[in-house]
Amino acid sequence: MSRNPFIPWLIAICFLMSAHWSMAESRTWAGRNGSRTEAEFVKQIGSNVLLKKPDGNTIRVPIQKLSDQDQQYLKDIQKPRQSSSSFNEVRDNAQSAEIRDALEGIIEREQMPGMVAAIVSSDGVLAIGSAGVRKNGSDEAITITDQLHMGSNTKAMTAVLMATLVADGTLTWDTTLIEVFPSMKNRFHADYHNVTVWQLLTHTSRFPNGAENWRAYEGTNLRKQRLSLLKDNLKKAPQTPAGVHHYSNLGYMAAGSMAEELTGETWETLMQERIFDPLGMTSAGFGPPGKQGRIEQPWGHNRTGGSWQPFQTDNAAALGPAGTVHCSIEDWGKFVALQFSESNALNLNRDLLDKLITPVGTYAGGWGISTRGWAKGTVLSHSGSNTMWLSPVWAAPNINRAYLVVTNSKDDKSSKICDQMIGTLLKIDQGN
């Protein structure tokens, strides 16, 4: 019997498939070298495809090694998932008059640059509106389809990324920092060695809030930047007592760095392949929206000397896993709605989704957790800001609703104003 020519480049994984994986009919897959194998499509994981052979074993195949025809087949069968066809598409002229009027009142009263707000369910955007301008001093209106900076709302996305790595066996919630970086044993203080993935995601890692200099290694590749920052900032013993909640951007960067080390891909690539593409978040990217110097997307703003000053800058790229994503409010809604249904384009089962919103204290995987009567139980909330934008969200899984607001400005009044707009969205949604 001749040896299967796929063997040299296929990694066999002998385990039973979980019931939540999507299935396709058995077919013959061809390699670029002319080899063939019979298998069923299970799912795509980044730049690989998982296939189930007739004997029940699964194999992981690099997509680039498949024939052009099979690569096209993969694109075709996943189009419904990647386009999020169940999520209603937002069009530029789809503004809710109630939301638009409320936003226009805020912009006029508070003299803010711009704001976008939406009510979202598992079916998509139920109501949306925008008011104001992309850049102070210009006439370019901010729109409901514009790209908006997410700030620390990126953290929930990074937590979901880590959940996809748990799902495929790359790591567990209890994987420790030193297990992933054993060569750093003498570089990281011993008190950090056994910090787990889940502790990083729930801000119970004892990590400092941030790096001493986030831009210290700019000019090198992002994976090296992040690991170098960990070396520099984990030398000393932690200042936070064990078991205490201490918000840490560095902790989220560390989680992203662990994912990079285990996969060989940057956090940015992993986010694109494992989160944005499957969810159809076509507007998503990293850093400030738009091309430098142009007003094709909104700019962020600080209030200086009584007036709003526009900026097209962001936090250091190395901070990425903690807060550099931008996307449209509709695409943000696609991500938030992961918690609203049993099935999802990422093939994450309910146990993993529930883990992400199970708090240690009051914080879970990128979400603050509380309860509210109007939500009939659990509320997920968070806010993001790079000091030039603000993006609060309140999500209520039990009533299948999320309320999202983003302003391209930030000062000491912005949080209160945005929270009031969240309240307005709730009233609009509940007919009060």
What is the average pLDDT score of the chain? 90
CATH 3.40.50.300 fits 158-268, yes or no: no
Residue 85 has pLDDT above 80, yes or no: no
pLDDT above 60 (res 344): yes
Q: What is the pLDDT of residue 51?
A: 82
Q: For residue range 157-179, list pLDDT tens digits in order.
A: 999 999 999 999 999 999 999 99
Amino acid in position 168:
D
Model confidence at 102: pLDDT above 60: yes
Contact 393/403 with Cβ under 8 angstroms? yes
Q: Please check the confidence at residue 43 and state whether its pLDDT lies above 50.
A: yes
Strand stretches in 3-123, DSSP E: 11-13, 26-30, 36-45, 48-52, 58-62, 114-121
Residue 207 has pLDDT above 80, yes or no: yes
Q: What are the domain boundaries of the chain?
A: 7-82, 97-151+270-430, 158-268
Closest-CA residue to 226 (of 193, 244, 198, 249)? 249
Q: Is the pLDDT assigned to residue 262 strictly greater than 80?
A: yes
The architecture (CATH level 2) of 7-82 comes to Roll (2.30)
Angle between helical axes of 249-263 and 154-167 (0-180°, round to 10): 30
What does the pLDDT average to over 33-37? 87
Q: What is the mean predicted confidence (pLDDT) over 364-393?
A: 97
Across 140-149, average pLDDT: 97
Q: Mean pLDDT throughout 350-358?
A: 97
Decide if pLDDT at 92 tops 80: no
What are the pLDDT digits (tens) for 2-31? 344 333 333 333 332 333 333 346 889 898
Q: Which H or E run contains 325? A: strand 325-327
What is the CATH T-level fold of the domain 97-151+270-430, as seen in this structure? Answer: Beta-lactamase (3.40.710)
Domains 7-82 and 97-151+270-430 share a fold: no
